Amino acid sequence: MPRFWPDDCCLPGMTIVQTPDLVEAPSWSIRPELPVDLDQIHDLHRAAFRGPAEAELVDAVRAGSGFLPELSLVAVAADGSVLGHIMISLVGFDPASEGMARSEVLALAPLAVLPPHWNRGIGTELTRTALEIADQRDEPFVAVLGAPSFYARFGFRPAADEAIHSPYDAAGSAFQVRPLAGASLEPGTVVYPPMFGEL
């Protein structure tokens, strides 16, 4: 069972939303990650999660077949400093209907913001931008393990309500799904790659 993560900072799975985003003129912009960002991204996750597990997850996903470069986004300051990072990648999906082959869906994990920049809306904007890009793809939904109070604003709802299961069923309403581009949802099981089980 994964641990919980703080609000608007680090969400490979669960988040606890404690304060609303502050409204301010952003001094940062969002773009896809570049090779020059990789060390900063690694260090950012280590700082946000106070340990190496999520940083190692990012590295493992990036090296795997489910990595989507256009869905690994960073929030950067004017000087190029990486303030936040989000990753959405491909994972498996086994439909409940007999005879249906495994397909692919999307998983949001992880999301992190450097602690000094929490509660500036960076995590919210990274999530919104990533989902806008995901909506242009063909997968039926994106899954996440996180606080409903954070993710409901983006259209996520409890996966159990759609008869969609995962290794995180014990998390209850914290395991959520969001249909992409109006796709209909069918019952089944989200199958995460082994690196997710190491968190």
- Report d(CA 176, CA 100) in Å as an integer: 22
Token code pair at residue 120: 């500036």
Calculate ∠ Cα 5-122-53, nearest 5°.
35
Per residue in 85-97, pLDDT tens?
999 999 999 999 9
Q: Across residues 10-28, what is the average pLDDT?
A: 49
Q: Give the pLDDT band (50/70/90) at residue 25.
A: low
- Report d(CA 198, CA 56) in Å as an integer: 10
Q: What does the pLDDT read at residue 132?
A: 97
Whether pLDDT at 16 is above 80: no
CATH number of residue 168's parent domain: 3.40.630.30
Token code pair at residue 139: 């997968």
Q: Give the pLDDT band (50/70/90) at residue 134.
A: very high
Asked if 44 and 84 count as a contact pair (C-beta separation under 8 A), the reply is yes
Whether pLDDT at 129 is above 90: yes
What is this structure's pTM?
0.87
Per residue in 36-70, pLDDT tens?
999 999 999 999 999 999 999 999 999 999 999 99
pLDDT, greater one: 6 or 115: 115
Q: Distance of CA 12 to CAs 96, 99, 127, 185, Å? A: 26, 32, 12, 22
Q: Domain of residue 86: give its range.
A: 4-198
- In total, how many domains does the chain have? 1
Whether pLDDT at 113 is above 70: yes
Q: Across residues 162-170, what is the average pLDDT?
A: 95
- Report d(CA 73, CA 126) in Å as an integer: 7
Q: Give the pLDDT band (50/70/90) at residue 31.
A: very high
Q: What does the pLDDT read at residue 21?
A: 46
Q: Across residues 75-103, what is the average pLDDT?
A: 96
